[in-house]
A and B are shown apart, each in its own frame.
Chain A
């Protein structure tokens, strides 16, 4: 059998297989929406992974970037009439400004101080969403039109397939960034800032780069979320979402792009899966309790994340074959 070495080709093949599967299997509409949500949070988590896993910077205000992306996209398509794909790009670029501000704060702070400063940052931005009524429409919320590319409306299965393509492209992009000088500089910075400095790595530059990348991914995710749900209001973009993104990355596996998507799938799907279990689903809020317990168990017994499980499984298969 030919061994496929390139990670890029592997990722593309995986994406094509998934697309074909989705094309063949007749999923319910709710399932399609759920899977789309997984991919959207997966994109945000991938960006966050660069920040936390590679650069070692924590942020507890990441919902701010996703929210900003969503509002930018809604405003651009709904009010200004910008085409969809361009709006997605715009929704990625504008949060970078916010990311640079937060990165500037991170230059001075570290550890738990940074964690809580970013928490405050997230709350502030959420509050701004409530106050800046001209841009966000306040609590009334803002609506967005359906996504359309070159006049063709995309929804349901089509949207999911588009999401798979975008996720794949973004995953390849991030793998490539991380395999270059930038990625190695980020890792060096994470392991020891002083040592990295001594090696001639510009800490300021790379900290800002890591915040920008994660802000871009979060913004794109926000935009894609906006055109899936088509409505948003400020309550969505709170601390809970920020911590959920953090949980996705840690549960999936730090420093693993695939792990981010796995983590997103876990956090999004778990409550739904639990509520499918007979008897338990008669108890109100059982899903949140069980999800909580499973999170604790995973962190406790798999501190490197779910991806270790997948890796172990893969290794066993190759072992058997040889």
Chain B
């Protein structure tokens, strides 16, 4: 039982990171119809920036805030520079544009930060708790609760503020949103800014585990796609639930079944889920009219 709980907790911890990244992904997808393949690398680049600031100039909290601001700026620039003009192109063309962005960012990472790995500290460095045999890292708890807080605040803002409503309207139907006088362009750039910040936060939080390196976001990035699909793209709550689900499933399958076959089994579960529920667990199926 203790081992089971232990696995659940570490699953929730990684799941929280998947959820953060997935939320950003879905936000961008829903508002501007872009599947952002560069999300992970934008986060990686911002984390590198945060690491450099932390190491040379500032204390950890300020460095994190600065890194998030950097990600926001990067999101704004990338959207304005590369995707705004490509709005009318098909979804596949936009995927390839984000792939181009990915290459550019990877190239700049090598120029600015080199190819080495660096260690970044945990957000909370405290002694571990021991609750009835289950070892709980304060950092893991922090990550889980931070994610939950962000998701709740995000959903609250989405429901109750003017900006939130404009995001939801744009996500629902861009043309109607325009007709309603919503500055759709602003919604695009803001959702990119929020999404890149969420990604960067996931990057900073995962850094103690993976080291700050050029491939640090690879796993989170892929899993966040899967989380978004499992949860369903049609709500902003689904991908978060999907993230936690994938995180826990990953850990449990890895421990009880087989570490080697973990990835194959988890993706197998994903495919079966999709075949049974093509719009994700929490998604609504939208029937196309002819």
From B35, B89, B106, B279, contact of A285 by CB (8 A): B106
Q: Which of B9-17, B165-173, B225-233 contacts A (4 or more CB under 8 A)?
A: B225-233
- Tell me whether chain B's interface is mostly helix, strand or loop, or mixed: helix
Within the complex, what minimum Cβ distance (angstroms) separates A172 from chain B?
27
Q: Which of B141-149, B180-188, B261-269 contacts A (4 or more CB under 8 A)?
A: B261-269
Q: State whether A116 touches B264 (Cβ < 8 A).
A: no
A108 vs B268: C-alpha distance when bound (angstroms): 15
From A121, A284, A287, A296, contact of B267 by CB (8 A): A121
Q: Which single residue of chain B is at the shortest CB-CB distance from A283?
A: B111
Q: State whether A250 touches B92 (Cβ < 8 A).
A: yes
Which residues of A are found within 8 Å of B229, using beta-carbon distances? 113, 116-117, 120
Evaluate whether A250 and B96 lie within 8 angstroms (CB atoms) in the complex, with A105-B274, A119-B222, A295-B103 already known: yes
Q: State whether A109 touches B103 (Cβ < 8 A).
A: no
Interface residue ranges of A266-298 to B (CB < 8 Å): 283-289, 291-293, 295-296
Interface flag for A182 (CB, 8 Å): no
- Tell me whether chain A's interface is mostly helix, strand or loop, or mixed: helix
Which residues of A are found within 8 Å of B96, using beta-carbon distances? 243, 246-247, 250-251, 295, 299
Q: Which single residue of chain A is at the shortest CB-CB distance from B259?
A: A131
Q: State whether B97 touches A299 (Cβ < 8 A).
A: yes
Within the complex, what minimum Cβ distance (angstroms) separates A59 from chain B?
11
Interface flag for B102 (CB, 8 Å): yes
A128 vs B258: C-alpha distance when bound (angstroms): 13
Interface residue ranges of B130-152 to A (CB < 8 Å): none
Interface flag for B260 (CB, 8 Å): yes
Evaluate whether A195 and B290 lie within 8 angstroms (CB atoms) in the complex, with A116-B226, A293-B104, A299-B97 already known: yes
Within the complex, what minimum Cβ distance (angstroms) separates A249 from chain B?
9
Interface flag for B108 (CB, 8 Å): yes
Interface flag for B107 (CB, 8 Å): yes
Residue among B91, B96, B102, B226 facing the most chain A CB atoms (10 A cut-off): B96
Which residues of B are found within 8 Å of A39, using beta-carbon distances? none
Which residues of A are found within 8 Å of B100, using beta-carbon distances? 292-293, 295-296, 299
Which residues of A are found within 8 Å of B274, using beta-carbon distances? 105, 108-109, 113, 117
A222 vs B7: C-alpha distance when bound (angstroms): 39
Interface flag for A33 (CB, 8 Å): no
A292 vs B103: C-alpha distance when bound (angstroms): 5
Q: State whether A292 touches B102 (Cβ < 8 A).
A: yes
A291 vs B99: C-alpha distance when bound (angstroms): 11
Interface flag for A239 (CB, 8 Å): yes
Q: State whether A108 touches B275 (Cβ < 8 A).
A: yes
Interface flag for A81 (CB, 8 Å): no
Q: State whether B263 touches A289 (Cβ < 8 A).
A: no
Evaluate whether A123 and B271 lie within 8 angstroms (CB atoms) in the complex, with A292-B107, A296-B82 already known: no
Within the complex, what minimum Cβ distance (angstroms) separates A152 from chain B?
41
Which residues of A are found within 8 Å of B29, using beta-carbon distances? 112
Interface flag for A23 (CB, 8 Å): no
Which residues of A are found within 8 Å of B275, using beta-carbon distances? 105, 108-109
Q: Which single residue of chain A is at the shortest CB-CB distance from B222?
A: A123
Q: State whether A285 touches B111 (Cβ < 8 A).
A: yes
From A52, A120, A250, A287, contact of B271 by CB (8 A): A120
Q: Which single residue of chain B is at the shortest CB-CB distance from A297?
A: B100
Within the complex, what minimum Cβ distance (angstroms) separates B214 from chain A?
10
Interface residue ranges of B14-38 to A (CB < 8 Å): 29, 35, 37
A264 vs B227: C-alpha distance when bound (angstroms): 32
Which residues of B are found within 8 Å of A299, using beta-carbon distances? 86, 89, 93, 96-97, 100
Which residues of B are found within 8 Å of A289, using beta-carbon distances? 103-104, 107-108, 111
Which residues of A are found within 8 Å of B222, using beta-carbon distances? 119, 123, 239
Q: State whether B267 touches A123 (Cβ < 8 A).
A: yes
Q: State whether A117 touches B270 (Cβ < 8 A).
A: yes
Q: State whether B263 touches A127 (Cβ < 8 A).
A: yes
15 contacts between A and B (CB under 8 A): A108-B275, A108-B278, A112-B91, A115-B95, A120-B270, A124-B267, A243-B99, A283-B111, A287-B107, A289-B108, A292-B101, A292-B103, A295-B103, A296-B104, A303-B93
Q: Which 6 A-B pairs have the closest CB atoms?
A: A292-B103, A289-B107, A295-B100, A292-B104, A285-B110, A296-B100
A interface list, Cβ under 8 A from B: 52, 58, 105, 108-109, 111-113, 115-117, 119-121, 123-124, 127-128, 130-131, 192, 194-195, 239, 243, 246-247, 250-251, 283-289, 291-293, 295-296, 299-300, 303
